């Protein structure tokens, strides 16, 4: 029997996750002629990050016309930087238009993926099983909430929740609200809530550099013109992309670059010019370089934190008590609502699902030191298993939709090697992955992320995990697989 006959010409493909990348994957697989596709989504609806994060003030820090699929422009964005509910609605619209929903099985969490006899054996949380020729993990990065290890957290007697589990039944107006954390989520929540509440306490462990932006609304006339002239959107996408690449993406990978110095100057001037009170200004001044942590964009945080209702609390948290937060200076901050803006476990990827590759290779063991993957896509000894926005991708540099579109195109080229009968199994080689990681680690040490701060970009060795090279290099790598970097099994 020939190779083409041994491997199904219409292979079964399982996609894990129905967020931005999962929706994209289904659309592109169908375009390529695959039709035995199922998506397993652990939640009841699609949307991923934008489904789970519904906190007040949520918005994307990538311009909306750039944070769209290239093949599905949206003329109706309300602002340059779109609010979260519009982004969620956009993905729902795309999924409906391209008939993705019939492919999705909701409330279906994958717990085990085991490679056996050339196929992936899948087990779901409800005990049901499936078999796949290919698995594409579109599980995202920011979806496992990180809860702080603070004494007494469970003792708080009133409403307490993580920003990714926002309880919209809890009243906020005229309440005493406290927020723990100062990342981009906390910054957005601060701007959205400070004028609504009786008092607002922002508990800051680490100050953040704030990059100023403007977020004007698109007028109805502008949106009508976008509808009539879609080429305008294409032009704006190019402009936004060039701006992002030139001013941020290529700056952060070289800590000594003039572009990086300009970013730092802009952030310093924003702080100096926006905060009038000298004591507050110094509390808000970070002691690390701008963009060492993921840079935060905001048009109004400094104004919000100076509101009469707001207080920036820099004394460390001693413990949580039934009535509020006790800081190390002995003060009890009495609260009605306690919000945990403490981020995500960004190194989980497909985990906690158990993934067992060829010869019993256990992903947890393979990633015991740190998650790595060749070009963030493929792992040695895990054949026919691919990731989107996996380890070491440019999660902090570019629009995640752009990244996913590049990666899906690349994966489709790998799948074609098998569909055409060239091989039965394909995965990155151990040598290519090790060389990629050596180069990545060396390059990462030159980036702004390695200049002395703690952030979710860093692995346990203190090495930045994000893509440390230029946008152009990423685009070039994604053009076509170099088959010498892969192990092909006939």
Residues 294 and 168 in one domain: yes
pLDDT level of residue 3 (50, 70, 90 thresholds): very low
At residue 397 the predicted structure's pLDDT band, cuts being 50, 70 and 90, is low
Decide if pLDDT at 336 tops 50: yes
Up-side HSE of residue 74: CA atoms within 13 Å toward CB? 25
Contact 82, 119 (CB under 8 A): no
Confidence band for 296, pLDDT divided at 50, 70 and 90: very high
Does 384 lie in the same domain as 326?
A: no
Q: Are residues 201 and 326 in the same domain?
A: yes
Q: How many domains does the chain divide into?
A: 2
Structure tokens at 443: 């390059």
> Would you state the pLDDT for residue 7?
64
Structure tokens at 479: 């053009």
Q: What is the mean pLDDT of residues 350-373?
A: 95
pLDDT of residue 144: 87
H or E segment to which residue 30 belongs: helix 20-31
pLDDT band at 52 (very low <50, low <70, confident <90, very high): very high
Statement to judge: residues 279 and 366 lie in one domain: no
Rg (CA), the chain: 23
Q: Are residues 475 and 424 in the same domain?
A: yes
* Range 301-305 contact pairs with CB under 8 angstroms and sequence separation of 24 or more: 301/187, 301/190, 301/191, 301/210, 302/210, 302/270, 302/271, 302/274, 302/275, 303/191, 303/274, 304/190, 304/191, 304/194, 304/195, 305/190, 305/194, 305/202, 305/275, 305/280
Assess whether 373 and 478 both reside in one domain.
yes
Q: Kindly tell me if the per-residue pLDDT of 361 is higher than 90.
A: yes
Question: Residue 386: helix, strand or coil by DSSP?
Answer: strand
Say yes or no to pLDDT of 141 above 50: yes
What mean pLDDT comes out for the span 192-209?
98
Lowest mean pLDDT among 15-24, 92-101, 342-351, 357-366: 342-351
Could you tell me if residue 87 is inside a domain? no
Parent domain of 175: 153-216+224-340
CATH number at residue 425: 3.50.50.60
Residue 398 has pLDDT above 90, yes or no: no
167 and 314 both lie in a single domain: yes
H/E segment holding residue 435: helix 430-444
pLDDT at 2: 38
Q: What is the pLDDT of residue 87?
A: 98
In a domain, 76, yes or no: no
What mean pLDDT comes out for the span 120-124? 98
Q: What confidence tens digit (pLDDT) does each residue in 161-190 have?
A: 999 999 999 999 999 999 999 999 999 999
List CB contacts of 434: < 8 A, sequence separation 6 or more.
none
359 and 375 assigned to the same domain: yes
Average pLDDT over residues 113-124: 97
Domain boundary among 309, 340, 371: 340
- Token pair, residue 123, equals 């087990």
**pLDDT the model gives residue 142:** 79
Q: What is the mean pLDDT of residues 51-56?
A: 96
Q: Given pLDDT bands bounded at 50, 70 and 90, which one contains residue 345?
A: confident
Q: What is the pLDDT of residue 181?
A: 97
In a domain, 431, yes or no: yes
Do 140 and 158 share a domain, yes or no?
A: no
Query: In the predicted model, what is the mean pLDDT of the chain?
Result: 95
Mean pLDDT value of segment 435-456: 95
Pair (336, 356) in one structural domain: no
Q: Beta-carbon neighbour count of residue 220 at 10 Å? A: 9
Q: Of residues 301 and 4, which shows the higher confidence score?
A: 301
Q: Which of 102-106, 115-119, 273-277, 420-424 has the lowest mean pLDDT?
A: 420-424
pLDDT over threshold 60, residue 417: yes
pLDDT of residue 4: 38
End position of a domain, from candidates 281, 310, 340: 340
| Closest to 133 measured CA to CA, from 446, 386, 438 | 386
Q: What pLDDT does residue 278 have?
A: 98
Q: List pLDDT tens digits, range 209-256.
A: 999 999 999 999 999 999 999 999 999 999 999 988 888 899 999 999
The pLDDT, as a whole number, for residue 49 is: 93
pLDDT band at 5 (very low <50, low <70, confident <90, very high): very low
How large a percentage of the chain has pLDDT more than 90?
90
Residue 285 placed within a domain: yes
In DSSP notation, 174-231 reads: T-EEEEE--SHHHHHHHHHHTTTSSEEEEE-SS---EEE---PBPPHHHHHHHHH-HH
**What per-residue confidence (pLDDT) applies to 297?**
96
Q: Could you tell me if 134 and 171 lie in one domain?
A: no
Residue 137 lies in a domain: yes
pLDDT of residue 246: 84
Decide if 301 is inside a domain.
yes
105 and 205 together in one domain:
no
Average pLDDT over residues 247-276: 95
Whether residue 78 is contained in a domain is answered as no
Confidence of residue 6 (pLDDT cuts 50, 70, 90): low
Q: Report yes or no on 59 lying in a domain.
A: no
Domain boundary among 322, 340, 358: 340
């Amino acid at each position: 029997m020939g190779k083409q006959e041994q491997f199904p010409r219409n292979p079964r493909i399982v996609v894990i996750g129905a967020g931005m990348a999962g929706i994209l994957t289904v659309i592109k697989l169908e375009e390529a002629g695959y039709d035995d596709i199922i998506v397993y989504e652990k939640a009841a609806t699609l949307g991923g990050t934008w489904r789970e994060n519904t906190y007040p003030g949520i918005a994307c820090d990538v311009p909306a016309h750039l944070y769209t699929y290239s093949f599905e422009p949206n003329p109706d964005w309300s602002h340059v930087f779109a609010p979260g509910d519009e982004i969620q609605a956009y993905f729902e619209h795309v999924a409906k238009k391209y008939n993705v929903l019939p492919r999705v099985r909701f409330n279906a969490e994958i717990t085990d993926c085991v490679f056996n006899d050339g196929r992936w054996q899948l087990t779901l949380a409800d005990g049901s099983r499936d078999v796949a020729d290919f698995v594409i993990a579109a599980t995202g990065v920011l979806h496992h909430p990180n809860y702080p290890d603070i004494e007494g957290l469970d003792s708080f007697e009133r409403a307490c929740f993580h920003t990714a589990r926002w309880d919209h039944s809890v009243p906020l107006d005229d309440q005493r609200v406290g927020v723990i954390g100062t990342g981009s989520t906390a910054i957005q929540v601060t701007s959205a809530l400070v004028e609504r509440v009786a008092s607002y306490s922002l508990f800051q462990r680490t100050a953040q550099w704030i990059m100023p932006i403007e977020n004007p609304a698109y007028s109805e006339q502008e949106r009508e013109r976008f509808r009539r002239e879609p080429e305008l959107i294409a032009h704006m996408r190019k402009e936004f992309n060039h701006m992002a690449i030139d001013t941020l993406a290529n700056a952060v990978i070289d800590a000594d670059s003039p572009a990086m110095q300009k970013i730092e100057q802009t952030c310093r001037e924003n702080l100096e010019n926006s905060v009038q009170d000298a004591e507050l200004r110094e509390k808000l001044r970070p002691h690390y370089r701008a963009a060492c942590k993921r840079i935060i964009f905001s048009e109004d945080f400094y104004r919000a934190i100076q509101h009469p209702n707001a207080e920036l609390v820099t004394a460390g948290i001693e413990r949580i008590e039934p009535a509020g937060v006790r800081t190390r200076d002995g003060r009890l901050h009495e609260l009605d609502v306690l919000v945990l803006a403490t981020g995500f476990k960004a190194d989980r990827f497909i985990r906690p699902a158990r993934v067992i590759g060829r010869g019993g290779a256990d992903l947890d063991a393979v990633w015991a030191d740190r998650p790595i993957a060749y070009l963030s896509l493929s792992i040695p000894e895990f054949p026919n298993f691919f990731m989107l926005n996996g380890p070491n991708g440019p999660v902090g540099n570019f629009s995640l939709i752009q990244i996913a579109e590049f990666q899906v195109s690349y994966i489709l080229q790998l799948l074609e090697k098998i569909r055409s009968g060239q091989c039965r199994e394909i995965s990155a080689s151990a040598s290519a992955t090790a060389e990629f990681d050596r180069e990545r680690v060396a390059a990462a040490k030159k980036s702004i992320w390695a200049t002395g701060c703690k952030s979710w970009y860093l692995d346990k060795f203190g090495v930045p995990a994000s893509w440390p090279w230029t946008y152009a290099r990423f685009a070039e790598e994604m053009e076509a697989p170099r088959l010498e970097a892969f192990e092909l099994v006939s």
